[in-house]
Amino acid sequence: MELGALGKEYQDQEIICGQGAAGDCMFVIQAGRAQVLRTEGGREVVVGELSAGDVFGEMAIFDRQPRSASVRARGTARVLTLDKRSFMRRVHEDPSLAFEILQKMSLRIRSLDEALSRMNQPRA
The contact set with other proteins (CB under 8 A) reads: 1-8, 28, 30, 52-53, 55, 80-83, 86-87, 90, 93-94, 96-97, 99-101
Toward other proteins, which CB reaches closer, 88 or 109?
88
Closest approach, Cβ 71 to other proteins, in A, equals: 16
CA dihedral for 59, 8, 80, 72, sign (positive or negative) = negative
Decide the pairing of beta strands 55-56 and 43-51. Answer: unpaired
Closest approach, Cβ 80 to other proteins, in A, equals: 5
- Give yes or no for a contact between 17 and 27, defined as CB atoms under 8 angstroms apart: yes
The span from the CA of 18 to the CA of 20, in Å, is 6
Toward other proteins, which CB reaches closer, 22 or 46?
22
Closest approach, Cβ 60 to other proteins, in A, equals: 16
Helix, strand, or coil (residue 79)? strand
The span from the CA of 114 to the CA of 111, in Å, is 5
Closest approach, Cβ 15 to other proteins, in A, equals: 16
Toward other proteins, which CB reaches closer, 39 or 51?
51
Residue type, 1: M
Toward other proteins, which CB reaches closer, 75 or 115?
75
